[in-house]
Chain A
Amino acid sequence: MSGDMDDILLVFFQECEEQLQELERGLSALSDGESGKETINAVFRAVHSVKGGAASFGLENLVRFAHVFESSLDGLRSGRVAPTPEIVKTFLKAMDVLSDLVAEAQGGATVDTGRIEESRVELQAIIGEGSGSAGPKEDDTVPADFAPVPVDFEPVMADFDFGDFGVEEDAPADAASLVVTFSPHAAMYDRGDDARNLLIGLSDVAVAHGGTSMVTCETAALPALGSLETEKSYLSWRVVLPAAVPEESVHTVFDWVSDVCDVTITRDGGSSPGSSSQEEPAEAQAALAEPEAEPEAPVPAAVQAAPVQAPVAASHARTPTSIAEKIMAELPPAPTPAATAPIAAGNTATRRPVEQATIRVDLHRVDDLMDLVGELVIAQAALESIGQREDGGQQEMIKRIASMKTLTRDIQDAVMAVRAQPVRSVFQRMQRVVREACSMTNKDVVLTLEGEDTEVDRTLVEKLSDPLTHMLRNAVDHGIESAETRIAAGKPPTGQILLSAGHRSGRILITIKDDGGGINRERVLATAVKRGIIAPDAVLTDDEVNNLIFAPGFSTASTVSDLSGRGVGMDVVKQAILGLGGRVTINSVEGQGTTFCLSLPLTLAVLDGMLIVAAGSTMVVPVSSVVETMMVNHKDIYMLPDGANVVSIRGACMPLIPLASELGLDGYKAGGPSEEDVILVVENESGARAALIVEDIRDQAQVVIKSIEKNYRQMSGVSAATILGDGSVSLILDVPALVANALGRIDTRPSDVRTGLAA
């Protein structure tokens, strides 16, 4: 495949991604009861675009499924079907299949044919196509290009029927001419297309194969002029094409109208061979009875069965009312293994760079950046000219440097904005996670999203996906109770999970809140003791018990389920969040639910820091965690019986931590804080506060974060390092860890009730 093609494919997949998001958004809106025309159209368009694009790349499986999906959606669009919750659920499920098929086309895992089938049958049921007449065409053709999965043939085989309209008959009925009948829907004209174009297309096809098309027009349905609605379509056509015309080329003609035009394609006389592919369930059973012929040679099996069934099937074919039949008929013929092979090979070969190496950025953001760079060039020229001046221009220089500083910050913000992405993409993926978890656990849970527009650095967006998936699965599996339990507890049977994102003091705060049973602390404690995570006689606070679920190897699930319970999940979550410079806190009320809070830095590159001095060395405290600063007043400091100090600030007591001694630095003078020292009141995400004593505050500046883990190793109390303006290396303090250490507790408890309430 050429490089150009790869690029186009890449764009297609990006667009698919967008369309799928659009689809997700629309379907969520639908499930919220917002069934406006615009919403339905948006959903329809999304599926249609995916289908259209996939068709141009010959991604057969995708096209076929998208097509069925689209047809069902059309039922919704035309008002034939009302968007009941069940139907929306079916659509959501179909969307999952669709996105898996997109992933498959991208070189991802092969989608289980059984799943596709199941969803297809459900979709067809929506538009009134019972599974009995639905035609999972794939059943007899797809196995050729899918890895044969015998299981898939069992239940679904029973309901395949007409299938391919003569695809199988191609070989035996070589000399038969091809008969195409089609009747356009009004929607086709709405779209600006015309039956004329189809007829022209067909006649071109005929001419290309050295023949002519014979067109007959069926006018029986045409009413008198008075009762004729001009925008409706009454005519249908029957076109006989020369035998040499392959069906593929006919399909191509109908490619773009397949959803708004009923088409049947048959060989020869039109009734027997073509429709003979309409197999009865019984016949399918018969086919099933020859399992050895099935996986490797489904086509002969079908052909074989066809003649026997012909009379019966023909009567069915006489009533071409089944939408599904028509749909299936319009579909491009099943790919032969040979035809798909290059595509499949292309899939694996070209889809390597799946890790989206590109991002889409609003143009104005790039423009903003460009403007600022322009400014920078001007500022640089100004500085140069000052440097060349005889008198040195000290004042001027300082002024220019100050403006340059502002400029640098603006540029930095602009670059950040370019890299920023709304968390929507990740959040919407979570809908699916919850849906799947629900169907596995047979629970009914609604996931509500809030703040999807919150923007964070794209590196973070990507890395959020795994931890969130784990946590949501956990919430569904362990958090939300079964419907019976919920009803018994006086709750609505449908569980609620809220996933929200928002900015909070320079960080992004993501909360996952369920209204389930909360953490059963006794059970957690008992399990932890049993697994040897804590000593049997340990006395733990509620908070500490909650945090035990993050301990490696912890699992309260009595049996390991598909979903969770292997005891790796939450530990991994915590590590992942810590790795991102974030923190997880738990808040659980028994019987009312659990709230997980993830607090993450907005970016992994730069932070606003306060430069402080402890034991003679300069260190950086993230400004976001500093609540206030004040001078030491000895009157406010009290000593506790255990020797620790607390400071009372406006009536609130908090532990006093001499930073230098906390970090184990030598320079800390004995004898407690001096009058010159400064108190920084710092706070962690859950609102627990402590007072850090430092010697001095030097400056406030933006510092570039350099990972200390990568270059050295992890150090408790230190989150990263940075290089200061004078070239010296300085440590960035991990305030929450310091607070937690000082409090001698695991993490996050509000230091007193009042801050707890305020938080």
Chain B
Amino acid sequence: MVSVTLPERLDSSAAFALKSEIEQAVKNTGGGQVALDASGVTYLGGLCLQVLLASRCPLVAPSEPVVEAYGLFGVSAYLTEPLASLKE
């Protein structure tokens, strides 16, 4: 499983880069599973949260701030279980 290490600060300005990075990783694996290493993340904002949730990738070793942020955003459930894939 390919792992993407997430940057330290996931604020609004980081959203675009985050999306590109995850997309790139997904592409590289040829549609395989990509794990997001959230161990170094210290800040998570609303826009990046959207990207993380939309990626439907599991988080690996989420840092304390990430766990807190997921709690704050009311999405703790997705910490362990990514959002169900879209039925498209």
Interface set of A (CB-CB < 8 Å, partner B): 184, 189, 192, 194-196, 199-200, 203, 214-217, 219, 222-226, 228, 230-231, 233-235, 237-239
Asked if A203 contacts B47 (CB within 8 A), the reply is no
Asked if B74 contacts A226 (CB within 8 A), the reply is no
Q: Choose one: B11, B12, B18, B73; the contact of A215 (CB below 8 Å).
A: B73
Contacts of B53 in A (CB 8 A): 219, 222, 235
Known: A192-B12, A224-B88, A233-B47. A200 touches B54 (CB 8 A): no
Known: A189-B12, A235-B49. A195 touches B54 (CB 8 A): no
B1 at the interface (CB under 8 A from A): no
Asked if A196 contacts B75 (CB within 8 A), the reply is no
Q: How far is the CA of A226 from the CA of B83 in the complex (A)?
A: 15
**Prevailing SS type, chain B contact patch:** helix
Which residues in chain B, 20-48, are within 8 Å of chain A measured between CB atoms?
22-23, 26, 44-47
Q: Choose one: A225, A238, A239; the contact of B54 (CB below 8 Å).
A: A225
Known: A224-B54, A224-B88. A195 touches B73 (CB 8 A): yes
Asked if B50 contacts A222 (CB within 8 A), the reply is yes
Asked if B54 contacts A223 (CB within 8 A), the reply is yes
Contacts of A199 in B (CB 8 A): 72-74
Asked if B74 contacts A225 (CB within 8 A), the reply is no
Q: In whole Å, how far is B23's beta carbon from the nearest beta carbon of chain A? A: 6
Contacts of B47 in A (CB 8 A): 189, 194, 230-231, 233
Contacts of A226 in B (CB 8 A): 23
Asked if B72 contacts A228 (CB within 8 A), the reply is no
Contacts of B51 in A (CB 8 A): 225, 228, 230
Q: How many residues of B contact A (CB 8 A)?
A: 28
Q: Which of B45, B56, B69, B72 has the most CB of A within 10 A?
A: B72
Other than A225-B22, A238-B74, give 4 A-B pairs with Cβ distance below 8 A: A217-B75, A225-B54, A231-B16, A233-B50
B63 at the interface (CB under 8 A from A): no
Q: In whole Å, how far is A254's beta carbon from the nearest beta carbon of chain B? A: 15
Q: How far is the CA of A196 from the CA of B46 in the complex (A)?
A: 6
Q: In whole Å, how far is A179's beta carbon from the nearest beta carbon of chain B? A: 13
Q: In whole Å, how far is A257's beta carbon from the nearest beta carbon of chain B? A: 12
Q: What are 21 pairs between A and B in contact, CB < 8 Å?
A: A189-B12, A195-B45, A195-B73, A203-B72, A217-B73, A219-B75, A219-B83, A222-B54, A222-B83, A224-B54, A224-B88, A225-B22, A225-B23, A225-B26, A226-B23, A230-B18, A230-B50, A230-B51, A235-B50, A235-B53, A239-B74
Q: Choose one: B15, B72, B86; the contact of A230 (CB below 8 Å).
A: B15
B19 at the interface (CB under 8 A from A): yes
Q: In whole Å, how far is A194's beta carbon from the nearest beta carbon of chain B? A: 5
Contacts of A215 in B (CB 8 A): 72-74
Q: In whole Å, how far is B7's beta carbon from the nearest beta carbon of chain A? A: 14
Inter-chain CB contacts under 8 Å: number: 83
Q: Which of A189, A200, A214, A216 has the most CB of B within 10 A?
A: A189
Q: How far is the CA of A749 from the CA of B75 in the complex (A)?
A: 84
Contacts of A224 in B (CB 8 A): 54, 56, 86, 88
Q: In whole Å, how far is A266's beta carbon from the nearest beta carbon of chain B? A: 17
**Prevailing SS type, chain A contact patch:** mixed
Asked if A196 contacts B69 (CB within 8 A), the reply is yes
Q: Which of B53, B74, B75 has the most CB of A within 10 A?
A: B74
Q: Choose one: A195, A203, A219, A239; the contact of B46 (CB below 8 Å).
A: A195
Contacts of A216 in B (CB 8 A): 74
Contacts of A237 in B (CB 8 A): 73-74
Q: How far is the CA of A223 from the CA of B51 in the complex (A)?
A: 10
Asked if B69 contacts A230 (CB within 8 A), the reply is no
Asked if A196 contacts B45 (CB within 8 A), the reply is yes
Contacts of B73 in A (CB 8 A): 195-196, 199, 215, 217, 235, 237
Q: In whole Å, how far is A190's beta carbon from the nearest beta carbon of chain B? A: 8
Q: How far is the CA of A216 from the CA of B45 in the complex (A)?
A: 16
B55 at the interface (CB under 8 A from A): yes
Q: How far is the CA of A195 from the CA of B70 in the complex (A)?
A: 12
Q: How far is the CA of A230 from the CA of B15 in the complex (A)?
A: 6
Q: How far is the CA of A28 from the CA of B54 in the complex (A)?
A: 45
Q: Which of A194, A195, A225 has the most CB of B within 10 A?
A: A225
Contacts of A238 in B (CB 8 A): 74
Q: How far is the CA of A231 from the CA of B51 in the complex (A)?
A: 10
Q: In whole Å, how far is B8's beta carbon from the nearest beta carbon of chain A? A: 16
Asked if B15 contacts A194 (CB within 8 A), the reply is no
Q: How far is the CA of A237 from the CA of B56 in the complex (A)?
A: 19
Asked if B72 contacts A200 (CB within 8 A), the reply is yes
Q: How far is the CA of A342 from the CA of B44 in the complex (A)?
A: 43
Contacts of B56 in A (CB 8 A): 224-225
Q: In whole Å, how far is A198's beta carbon from the nearest beta carbon of chain B? A: 9
Residue of A nearest to B55 (CB): A225
Q: In whole Å, how far is A211's beta carbon from the nearest beta carbon of chain B? A: 16
Contacts of A214 in B (CB 8 A): 74
Closest 3 CB pairs of A and B: A215-B74, A195-B46, A230-B15
Q: In whole Å, how far is A197's beta carbon from the nearest beta carbon of chain B? A: 9
Which residues in chain B, 68-88, are within 8 Å of chain A measured between CB atoms?
69, 72-75, 83, 86, 88
Known: A199-B72, A216-B74, A219-B83. A225 touches B19 (CB 8 A): yes
Q: In whole Å, how far is B87's beta carbon from the nearest beta carbon of chain A? A: 11
Residue of A nearest to B56 (CB): A225
Q: In whole Å, how far is A294's beta carbon from the nearest beta carbon of chain B? A: 42
Q: How far is the CA of A225 from the CA of B48 in the complex (A)?
A: 12
Q: How far is the CA of A189 from the CA of B47 in the complex (A)?
A: 8
Contacts of A230 in B (CB 8 A): 15-16, 18-19, 47, 50-51
Known: A225-B55, A225-B56. A194 touches B72 (CB 8 A): no
Q: How far is the CA of A222 from the CA of B73 in the complex (A)?
A: 15
Q: In whole Å, how far is B59's beta carbon from the nearest beta carbon of chain A? A: 15
Contacts of B49 in A (CB 8 A): 235
Q: Which of B12, B44, B53, B56 has the most CB of A within 10 A?
A: B12
Contacts of A239 in B (CB 8 A): 74
Q: Choose one: A194, A219, A222; the contact of B45 (CB below 8 Å).
A: A194
Residue of A nearest to B57 (CB): A225
Q: How far is the CA of A212 from the CA of B73 in the complex (A)?
A: 14
Q: In whole Å, how far is A721's beta carbon from the nearest beta carbon of chain B? A: 70
Q: Which of B15, B46, B72, B75 has the most CB of A within 10 A?
A: B46
Q: How far is the CA of A215 from the CA of B88 in the complex (A)?
A: 28
Q: How far is the CA of A509 from the CA of B75 in the complex (A)?
A: 69
Q: How far is the CA of A231 from the CA of B18 in the complex (A)?
A: 12
Q: How far is the CA of A566 from the CA of B24 in the complex (A)?
A: 79
Contacts of A195 in B (CB 8 A): 45-46, 73
Q: How far is the CA of A223 from the CA of B74 in the complex (A)?
A: 19
Asked if B50 contacts A228 (CB within 8 A), the reply is yes
Q: How far is the CA of A199 from the CA of B46 in the complex (A)?
A: 10
Q: How far is the CA of A225 from the CA of B57 in the complex (A)?
A: 10
Q: How far is the CA of A226 from the CA of B55 in the complex (A)?
A: 8
Asked if B74 contacts A217 (CB within 8 A), the reply is yes
Q: In whole Å, how far is A231's beta carbon from the nearest beta carbon of chain B? A: 7
Q: How far is the CA of A200 from the CA of B44 in the complex (A)?
A: 13
Q: In whole Å, how far is A87's beta carbon from the nearest beta carbon of chain B? A: 32
Q: Which of B11, B51, B54 has the most CB of A within 10 A?
A: B54
